[in-house]
């Protein structure tokens, strides 16, 4: 096997064996967002509009602020 093929094989092997990305935080955030929409619609009595503000904190965490209002 030529050296380039060996390097390619090693690269592919490392990609296959590397840990997979964890989407747990994303799924948890989306679940909470669905719950917030349901609560906002119940509290405001119908469809809602929303605004989102995001901020990246110095420690690397993302803060998301949702503001709901009744859709006219």
| Domain coverage including residue 71 | 46-72
Is residue 16 domain-resident?
no
Categorize the per-residue pLDDT at 3 as very low, low, confident or very high, splitting at 50, 70 and 90: low
Is residue 38 domain-resident?
no
Is residue 2 domain-resident?
no
Total of domains in the chain: 1
In the chain, the largest separation of any two C-alpha atoms, in whole Å, equals 69
Contacts with 54 (C-beta within 8 Å, 6 or more apart), sequence order = 62, 63, 64, 65
Return the number of other C-beta atoms located less than 10 Å from residue 37's C-beta: 15
Provide, rounded to the nearest whole percent, the portion of the chain with pLDDT above 90: 18
Is residue 61 domain-resident?
yes
pLDDT beyond 70 at 1:
no
For residues 15-29, average pLDDT: 80
Is residue 58 domain-resident?
yes
Is residue 52 domain-resident?
yes
């Amino acid at each position: 096997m030529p050296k380039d093929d060996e390097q390619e094989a090693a690269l592919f092997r490392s990609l296959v064996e590397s840990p997979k990305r964890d989407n747990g935080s994303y799924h948890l955030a989306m679940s909470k967002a669905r719950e917030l929409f349901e609560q906002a619609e119940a509290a405001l009595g119908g469809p809602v509009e929303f605004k989102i503000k995001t901020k990246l904190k110095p420690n690397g965490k993302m803060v998301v602020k949702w503001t709901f209002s009744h859709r006219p």
